[in-house]
């Protein structure tokens, strides 16, 4: 593995602590969570108590005020262990930043401390049944009536959808204005007219609650608007680079975890009187997988450096998202092949990692959309 220079001894101490926490508090229960369709609420509150949620949130809002590398470490360790049910990344690195960067002081004081503690779980509702990755085609509306807005519409594929206490909803405040008519709102658990649909049954990520959401004449106070009316699309574009970088970070760490599982397996498993690891084909495949991961790691670490100095561009994040997630699926498929028939058995973590990895090329904007973003810089 290529040596990494991004992290200090304090970062690595945090990583070691988190790894042990996940090994003790999450890994033994993940199979049951897959049966349940969601992780336990207790995991969230324990994570909050230990400082693993929203590490970048400022001290004035109950957070540690740490640098973004602490969030990177949380993403990496969750992904490396294949704990795909844990929706901390979306809560920490997508929902909380919208509130901290664009919310009012009252919103920050109301929501952020409880997001840090795990008392409130966050989600964001962008995708609609007919819209997919096209955010400008949002049909959900939030029409102003006096001192409040009336929200109507539906969303689907919403991560943390069943467990979320607060949901940032993308809606049109002026449907005639296209992207310029999009605004962001905070919808809270229990608001009249807000209903959750079924917990969706997916090919992978079975422990992650992913839901349909319905809004029927939900009355939203003016103070639940995030930032300025009509600025929602701008806010989304500003934050999507970090989201897509996070997906690439997850992909690399997940590949590293899959390679480790595969190495352990081929060293122990025998066929035709010798270890699988002793076959030349196995050795060649392992060399290719390891090299590809090293290249991806160096690439993504460079983009992390750019993000830390606020130099990461939207096209660069899009390129990383599509290239690294395509590679992730290819490398995990190679790992499954080295496991043979056992690689297709759900009881083996490599099978679950393989199934989980497929959606990485879809969410956060499909990889085809990512290529379009990159192409626009070239022509």
Going by the DSSP 8-state scheme, the letter that residue 94 receives in this structure is I
On whether residue 101 sits in a domain, the answer given is yes
Sequence-distant (≥ 6) Cβ neighbours of residue 327 within 8 angstroms? 251, 255, 292, 296
Res 133: pLDDT = 66
State mean pLDDT over 323-349: 98
312 shares a domain with 346: yes
C-beta of residue 97 within 8 angstroms of C-beta of residue 58: no
Separation CA 253–CA 26 (nearest Å): 17
On whether residue 3 sits in a domain, the answer given is no
Res 99: pLDDT = 98
The CATH number of whichever domain residue 134 belongs to comes to: 2.40.110.10
**Band of pLDDT at residue 137, cut at 50, 70 and 90:** confident
Q: Which two tokens stand for residue 341?
A: 């028939």
**Band of pLDDT at residue 3, cut at 50, 70 and 90:** low
237 shares a domain with 116: no
State mean pLDDT over 206-213: 97
Coil vs helix vs strand at 210: strand
139 shares a domain with 221: yes
173 shares a domain with 116: no
242 shares a domain with 217: no
Q: In which residue are the tokens 């779980």 written?
A: 121
208 shares a domain with 137: yes
Other CB atoms within 10 A of residue 42 CB: 11
Active-site residue, from 243, 268, 311, 368: 243
State mean pLDDT over 275-304: 98
- State the total domains in the chain: 3
Other CB atoms within 10 A of residue 220 CB: 23
**Band of pLDDT at residue 257, cut at 50, 70 and 90:** very high
The last residue of a domain, from among 120, 136, 152: 120
370 shares a domain with 253: yes
155 shares a domain with 261: no
Per the annotation, the verdict on 243 as an active-site residue is yes
296 shares a domain with 214: no
Res 145: pLDDT = 96
On whether residue 261 sits in a domain, the answer given is yes
- 146-205 pLDDT, tens digit each: 999 999 999 999 999 999 999 999 999 999 998 999 999 999 999 999 999 999 999 999
The last residue of a domain, from among 200, 230, 260: 230
Coil vs helix vs strand at 81: coil
The CATH number of whichever domain residue 270 belongs to comes to: 1.20.140.10
241 shares a domain with 109: no
pLDDT at 361 over 80: yes
State mean pLDDT over 347-364: 97
Range of 38's domain?
A: 9-120
Res 295: pLDDT = 97
Coil vs helix vs strand at 15: helix
On whether residue 2 sits in a domain, the answer given is no
* Average pLDDT of the residues of the chain: 96
69 shares a domain with 97: yes
The last residue of a domain, from among 230, 258, 288: 230
State mean pLDDT over 196-221: 97
pLDDT at 131 over 80: no
Res 134: pLDDT = 74
C-beta of residue 103 within 8 angstroms of C-beta of residue 60: no
Res 136: pLDDT = 80
Res 124: pLDDT = 97
Res 329: pLDDT = 98
* Orientation angle between helical segments 9-25 and 41-49, nearest 10 degrees: 150
The CATH number of whichever domain residue 18 belongs to comes to: 1.10.540.10
Between 136 and 215, residue with greater pLDDT:
215
State mean pLDDT over 37-61: 97
State mean pLDDT over 45-74: 97
% pLDDT > 70, the chain: 99
Res 321: pLDDT = 98
State mean pLDDT over 132-137: 75
**Band of pLDDT at residue 271, cut at 50, 70 and 90:** very high
């Amino acid at each position: 593995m290529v040596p990494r220079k991004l992290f200090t001894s304090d970062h690595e101490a945090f990583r070691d602590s988190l790894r042990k926490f996940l090994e003790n508090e999450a890994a033994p229960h993940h199979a049951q969570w897959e049966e349940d369709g969601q992780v336990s609420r207790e995991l969230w509150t324990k994570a909050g108590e230990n400082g693993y949620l929203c590490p970048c949130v400022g001290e004035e809002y109950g957070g540690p005020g740490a640098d973004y590398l602490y969030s990177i470490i949380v993403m990496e360790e969750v992904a490396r262990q294949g704990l795909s049910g844990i929706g901390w990344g979306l809560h920490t690195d997508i929902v909380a930043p919208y509130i901290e960067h664009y919310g009012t002081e009252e919103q920050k004081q109301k929501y952020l401390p409880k997001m840090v503690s795990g008392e409130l779980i966050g989600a964001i509702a962008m995708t609609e049944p007919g819209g997919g990755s096209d955010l400008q085609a949002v049909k959900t509306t939030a029409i102003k009536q006096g001192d409040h807005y009336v929200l109507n519409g539906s969303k689907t594929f919403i991560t943390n959808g069943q467990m979320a206490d607060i949901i940032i909803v993308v809606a049109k405040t002026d449907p005639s204005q296209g992207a310029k008519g999009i605004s962001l709102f905070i919808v809270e658990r229990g608001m009249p007219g807000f209903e959750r649909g079924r917990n969706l049954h997916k090919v992978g990520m079975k422990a992650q609650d992913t839901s349909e959401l319905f809004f029927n004449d939900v009355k939203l106070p003016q103070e639940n608007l995030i930032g300025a009316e009509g600025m929602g699309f701008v806010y989304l574009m500003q934050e999507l680079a970090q989201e897509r970088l996070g997906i690439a970070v997850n992909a690399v760490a997940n590949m590293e975890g899959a390679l480790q599982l595969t190495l352990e397996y081929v060293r122990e498993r025998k066929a035709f009187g010798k270890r699988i690891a002793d076959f030349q084909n196995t050795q060649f495949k392992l060399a290719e997988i390891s090299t590809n991961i090293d290249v991806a790691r160096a690439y993504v670490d460079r983009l992390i450096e750019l993000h830390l100095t606020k130099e990461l561009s939207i096209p660069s994040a899009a390129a990383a998202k599509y290239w690294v997630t395509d590679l992730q699926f290819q490398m995990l498929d190679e790992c499954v092949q080295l496991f043979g028939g056992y690689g297709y058995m759900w009881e083996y973590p490599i099978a679950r990692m393989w199934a989980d990895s497929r959606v990485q090329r879809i969410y956060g904007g499909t990889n085809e959309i990512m290529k379009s973003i990159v192409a626009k810089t070239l022509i």
